[in-house]
Amino acid sequence: VGYYPPPVEPGHVFQWTQKDHIEKAPAWCSVDLRDGNQSLIVPMSLEEKLEFYDMLVKIGFKEIEVGFPAASETEYEFLRKLIEENRVPSDVTLQVLTQCRDHIIRKTFEAVKGAPRAIIHFYNSTSVAQREQVFKKSKEEIKQIAVDGAKLVKQLSEEYEGNFLFEYSPESFTGTEPEYAVEVCNAVLDVMQPTPDRPMIINLPVTVEMSMPHVYANQIEWCSNHLKYRDSVILSTHPHNDRGCGVADAELAVLAGAQRVECCLFGNGERTGNVDAITLAMNMYSHGVDPHLDFSDMPAICEVYERVTRMHVYERSPYAGSLVFAAFSGSHQDAIAKGMTWRKEKGEHRWTCPYIPVDPHDIGRTYDADVIRINSQSGKGGIGFLLQQNYGYNPPPKMREDLGYRVKEVSDHEHRELGVKEVLYVFEKTYLNH
């Protein structure tokens, strides 16, 4: 068994269980260019990284982990290019990752030299499995790696005199005893001495997802209550999706006290991926909370993502996939057609349409091409709605029913989806003798 449940004080009531939605956007940090990139079959070239970075800035990410510059020549060069060509807007902070190892920390500081602002993200593994099998070190020795890393980071930040913020991750947190993870984080905090106006990020990653999301949220809440310097700590979450619950991990972690989320577009990232930034942001949006990330041109974001990562956006990927607003079946089409008509007649500005979670227009999708789709499962309501919307025809009920059978028959016979022009063709040929 790879995880350790948090120690629960008797009678402890988890505050997060009292909430049913997130009221305010967390700080977002994109890790697409690091965690996302390191897990691609073919990592991005320098030009591709630049294009992706520009897109992340445009979407509105204010913190972007741009790589592990001490471990990769491309990432070193990419970072230098961003700095030397002044490509960092004044409200964006670059983040770089480094292990707690002397020469790697030193090279990382060299790489960020001259950056207007940078988050130095240092980490070491703390789980039982890594302590025993990989490092073969005791708890004290592993804690010492973190403390020595923190001391060097602090010393170099003073020598380089940059505008630095710091992040520490007890990597493999989900396989670490929470009391021990807090002990290590507190030792790091003692070195870094954060203050409310110079806070430090403590990131408790779901490096491998090992439990149900509420168990992780309990760990977050417990750690949040036991970290020192709490008013000077920005508590961060970084879920991976091994059990398919990365979004739930992040959402419950935020309810439990996490103030920041590290994420990737379309859930790219190691193995099953990092948590999907789009689902998180759009889930908030659909609850009327501004996520401060702009996904109003989703088709363009999908295009860039697919081209530079050589990955595919799954057809059913929440909010973004090509089929996520599509209704083929008759009863769904009928309800949607009625909902759209009702909304128009009432002049209702809120999105209330059955079966469609958000207004497709809000993310750059169309009603015409994306919602009512015709195949052999479709019904007279949807087919009639399409004719009316696109061509102004409003066939009477009996004719709609007959048309419905005819259109479905063609689709069934040819075993394929029909376009709206083909529906029009059947209509005109049958009833208007065109």
Return binding residues for Mg(2+): 35, 238, 240, 274
Comparing CB distances to ligand KIV, the nearer of 127 and 378 is 127
Distance CA 26, CA 23 (A): 9
Q: Which of 205, 360, 382, 395 binds ligand KIV (CB under 6 A)?
A: 205
171 binds, among ligand KIV, Zn ion, none (CB under 5 to 8 A by kind): ligand KIV
Please return the burial class of 197, using the count of CB atoms within 10 Å of its CB with bins 0-12, 13-18 and 19+.
exposed
The residues binding Zn ion (CB under 5 A) are 35
In the complex, what is the shortest distance from the CB of residue 33 to ligand KIV, in angstroms, rounded to a whole number?
13
In the bound complex, what is the minimum distance in angstroms from residue 253's beta carbon to ligand KIV? Answer: 14
Residues contacting ligand KIV: total by CB under 6 A = 10
Residues 256-285 within binding reach of ligand KIV (CB under 6 A): none
* Partner from Zn ion, ligand KIV, none contacting 250, C-beta within 5 to 8 A by type: none
- Which of 183-191, 192-200, 203-211, 218-226 is the region at the interface with ligand KIV (rule: CB under 6 A)? 203-211
The token duo for 199 is 């806070």
169: partner contacted, choices ligand KIV, Zn ion, none (Cβ within 5-8 A by kind)? ligand KIV
Measured distance CA(340)–CA(346) in Å, rounded: 10
DSSP sequence for 222-285: HHHHH-TTGGGEEEEEEEB-TTS-HHHHHHHHHHTT--EEEEBGGG-SSTT-BPBHHHHHHHHH
Q: Which CB sits closer to Zn ion, 269 or 381? A: 269
Choose, by CB under 6 A, the member of 123, 168, 319, 328 that binds ligand KIV: 123
In a 3-state reduction of DSSP, which class is residue 97? strand
Sign of CA dihedral 176, 177, 178, 180: negative
Q: What is the CA radius of gyration of the chain?
A: 26
If one asks whether residue 171 binds ligand KIV (CB under 6 A), the answer comes out as yes
Smallest gap, in angstroms, from Cβ of residue 205 to Zn ion?
Answer: 6
Closer residue to Zn ion in complex, CB, 119/372: 119
Choose between 174 and 411: whose C-beta lies nearer to ligand KIV.
174
Q: Which long-range contacts (CB under 8 A, 24 or more apart) does 9-14 make?
A: 14/217, 14/218, 14/221, 14/256
Binding to ligand KIV (CB under 6 A) within 67-106 occurs at: 97
- Please report, in angstroms and rounded to a whole number, the separation of the first and last CA atoms in the chain: 70
CB of residue 429 to ligand KIV, shortest distance in Å: 59
Least distance from ligand KIV to the Cβ atom of residue 11, Å: 32
Minimum separation from the CB atom of position 28 to ligand KIV (A): 15
CA distances 99 to 30, 75, 278, 280, Å, are 19, 15, 28, 28
CB of residue 149 vs ligand KIV: minimum separation in angstroms?
A: 13
CA distance 276 to 302: 13
Taking every pair of Cα atoms in the chain, the longest distance, rounded to a whole number of angstroms, is 86
Structure tokens at 404: 């419905």
Dihedral, CA atoms, 84, 89, 93, 98, nearest 10 degrees? -30
Tell which one of 49, 238, 260, 380 touches ligand KIV (CB under 6 A): 238
Residue 157 vs 172, nearer CB to ligand KIV: 172
How many Å apart are CA 166 and CA 200, to the nearest integer?
A: 5
Least Cβ distance, residue 243 to ligand KIV (angstroms): 14
Which residue, 263 or 293, has its beta carbon nearer to ligand KIV? 263
H/E stretch holding 198: none
Closest CB to Zn ion among residues 166, 285: 166
Three-state SS annotation for 108-173:
HHHHHCCCCCEEEEEEEECCHHHHHHHHCCCHHHHHHHHHHHHHHHHHHHHHHCCCEEEEEEEECH
Annotated binding-site positions: 35, 238, 240, 274
Stretch that binds ligand KIV, among 39-47, 201-209, 404-412, 420-428 (CB under 6 A): 201-209
Applying CB under 6 A, among 240, 380, 400, 408 the residue interacting with ligand KIV is 240
Helix, strand, coil share (%) of the chain residues, nearest 5: 50, 15, 35
| Interface with ligand KIV (CB under 6 A), residue from 93, 169, 317, 378 | 169
Q: Identify which of residues 35 and 334 has a Cβ nearer to ligand KIV in the complex.
A: 35
Instruction: Tell the smallest beta-carbon distance from residue 401 to ligand KIV (Å).
Output: 56
Element containing residue 304 per DSSP (H, E): helix 298-309
Q: For Zn ion, which is the closer residue by CB, 36 or 384? A: 36
Q: Which of 117, 106, 107 is nearest to 82 (CA)?
A: 117
Residues in touch with ligand KIV (CB under 6 A): 35, 97, 123, 169, 171, 203, 205, 207, 238, 240
